[in-house]
Chains A and B, each alone.
Chain A
Amino acid sequence: MKDKTKRIMNFRFDRYEDAESKLEKLASKGIFLEECGSFLWTFRKGVPKKVKYTVTYFSEGSVFNPDNSDNQQTYFDYAKAAGWNFVTQFNQMQIFCSEADNLIPFETDEKEKLNNIKRCMKKSFLPSMIVLILVFVLNLILQFNSFQSNPIDYMSDYSLLLSSSMMVVATIYQIYSLLTYFLWLKRSEKSIALGGDCEKNSNIVYKIVDIIFLVFLFGILGYLFFYLAYKTSGFGLILSIAQIPILMIVFWSSIKYFKRKKASATKNKVISFAILIIASFAYLGLLMTFIMRFGFGISNESNYRTVNWKLSETESYEYRLYSDEIPLTSEDLYGPIDYNYYSYERKSDNTFFIFKSAYRQDSPPAKDAPPQIEYEMLVPQFDFVYRLTKEYLLEIPEWRDNTTFELIDNKKFDTVEAYQRYYEDTPTGEYILFFEDRIILLRMEEPLNTNQISIIKEKLQI
Chain B
Amino acid sequence: MAREKYQSLTEQMFYILICLRQENCGVDIMKKVEELTNGRVIIGPGTLYSLLDNFVKEKIILETKIENRKKNYVITKLGTEMLEKEYLRVTILKNDYEMLVKGGEQQ
Contacts and interface: CB of A to CB of B under 8 A. Distances in A.
Nearest to B27: A81
A52 B69 CA distance: 27
Contact of B69 (A70, A79, A107, A111): A70
Summarize B's interface: helix, strand, loop or mixed.
Answer: helix
A446 interface: no
A104 B69 contact: no
B72 to A, nearest CB: 11
A82 B50 CA distance: 15
B50 A79 contact: no
A9 B99 CA distance: 59
Contacts of A115: 50
A104 B47 CA distance: 11
Given A74-B69, A74-B71, A81 B47 contact: no
B10 interface: yes
Contacts of A112: 46-47, 50-51, 54
A109 B10 contact: yes
B46 A56 contact: yes
B97 interface: no
B50 A78 contact: no
A112 B30 CA distance: 16
Given A73-B69, A74-B69, A77-B69, A107 B47 contact: yes
Interface in A99-120: 104-109, 111-113, 115-116
B70 A77 contact: yes
Contacts of A107: 44, 46-47
A79 B50 CA distance: 12
A73 B51 CA distance: 16
B70 A78 contact: no
A56 B45 CA distance: 11
Given A77-B69, A77-B70, A113 B47 contact: yes
Interface of B: 10, 12, 26-27, 30-31, 42-51, 54, 66, 69-71
Given A105-B44, A107-B44, A111-B10, 5 more contacts: A73-B69, A81-B27, A81-B45, A112-B50, A112-B51
